[in-house]
Amino acid sequence: MEFSAEDHQHIRYNPLKDEWVLVSPHRMKRPWSGQIERPQEEEIPEHDPNNPLCPGVTRPNGQINPHYSSTFVFTNDFPALLENVPEPPESGDPLFQMKKAEGTCRVMCFHPKSNVTIPLMTEEEISTVIRGWIVQMNELGEKYAWVQVFENKGSIMGCSNPHPHCQIWASSFLPNEARIKDMHQRKYYEKFGYPMLLDYLKKELQKQVRVVIENSDWVVLVPYWAVWPFETMILPRTHIKQMTDLTQDEVESLASIMKRLTTRYDNLFQTSFPYSMGWHGAPTGPYKDNGDHWLFHGIYYPPLLRSATVKKFMVGYEMLAQCQRDLTPEQAAERLRNLSEIHYKQQ
């Protein structure tokens, strides 16, 4: 029998993280009798006077949000990272290591209206969000090693508030994902003299099997090593190392491709598509170097697998052995390619 990646199980390598994923495409045919998620709450009011992220609302800590008309950033009232804390003592025992962790956490509201998600925003509004991220990256990146901008969207992803927003966590240390990706991109650069992800993108553009959409500056693809069913990456065509390097044109073209991608996501199962997404780029602050091995990129990790109500669980084998997927990345890319860029709510 001849091997076909669409039919036969195999493992694939992720060079960014030095990890493997098990791909089992034959399992796509199995019936689902497990958990069905409740459809997400679709009818969200434009303004809720009890929602602490809305304009003009008094938050539980007594602070009053301004009547903001575009984006609004504030320090998280319940931050996981604080700025000034005592340092733990040095430990000589390799089995009991602690290190200092300083940082700050912020919340950025994307839009004054609670029912306007990224795909429903205008490109200009999304550009304003990206410019807001750049301001935060510039400011926090002066001091901190890593500034993680991330959006948790949908209650299925643990998002506690339907108002469109993201979080920004800045830390004195490199978190695991950053540290591992930094290490493997650096090794690749030292070996081949070229950034790993630019090499990867060149090859994906030749193959065209996992590319979903493109514009003059950006490419969206389902990575060869994707673990989530409809996981995608947004990659720049040129050697951009950090979000703060973007030109005005690149901000606008990024806003455009984000809108196109998230519209396709919403159209896939005709639902406000849940995901965790965020941006990775060269480390900052005390960890900043020339960053030549880095390519700035966005990552979307959506949990839905078959419908608006059936999600992929990362449990069992994933927790104890390694990640596994049924749908191949090529099949996922084709599904996403075949979708309309007119939002189902606006048709």
The binding site for ligand H2U (CB under 6 A) comprises 52, 59-60, 76-78, 107, 152, 159-161, 167
Beta bridge partners of 64: 58
Nearer to ligand H2U, 161 or 215 (CB): 161
What is the Cα–Cα distance from 276 to 304, expressed in whole angstroms?
A: 11
Nearer to ligand H2U, 119 or 223 (CB): 119
Q: Are 73 and 136 in contact (CB under 8 A)?
A: yes
Nearer to ligand H2U, 73 or 198 (CB): 73
CA 81 to chain centroid, in Å, comes to: 20
CB of 152 to ligand H2U, least distance (A): 4
CB of 336 to ligand H2U, least distance (A): 24
Residue nearest to ligand H2U (CB): 52
Nearer to ligand H2U, 224 or 301 (CB): 301
Nearer to ligand H2U, 68 or 344 (CB): 68
Provide φ and ψ at 170, rounded to 5°. Answer: -110, 135
CB of 37 to ligand H2U, least distance (A): 17
Question: What do you get for the CA distance between the two ends of the chain, in Å?
Answer: 46
Beta strands 232-236; 211-214: pairing state:
unpaired
- CB neighbours of 62 closer than 8 A, spacing ≥ 6? none
**Beta-carbon-side half-sphere exposure of residue 335 (alpha carbons within 13 Å):** 19
Residue 58: count other Cβ atoms within 10 Å of its Cβ: 12
Residue 216, token pair as written in the block: 């003059």
CB of 287 to ligand H2U, least distance (A): 25
CB of 156 to ligand H2U, least distance (A): 12
Residue 91, token pair as written in the block: 């430990």
CA-based nearest residue to 263, from 156, 336, 167, 214: 336
- Residue 31: C-alpha distances to residues 35, 213, 306, 310, 319 (Å): 12, 31, 11, 12, 23
Residue 43, token pair as written in the block: 């009818």
**Beta-carbon-side half-sphere exposure of residue 251 (alpha carbons within 13 Å):** 18
Query: Any catalytic annotation for residue 184?
Result: no
Catalytic residue among 111, 163, 165, 293: 165
CB of 125 to ligand H2U, least distance (A): 19
Residue 273, token pair as written in the block: 């598509």
Nearer to ligand H2U, 67 or 207 (CB): 67
Catalytic residue list: 165
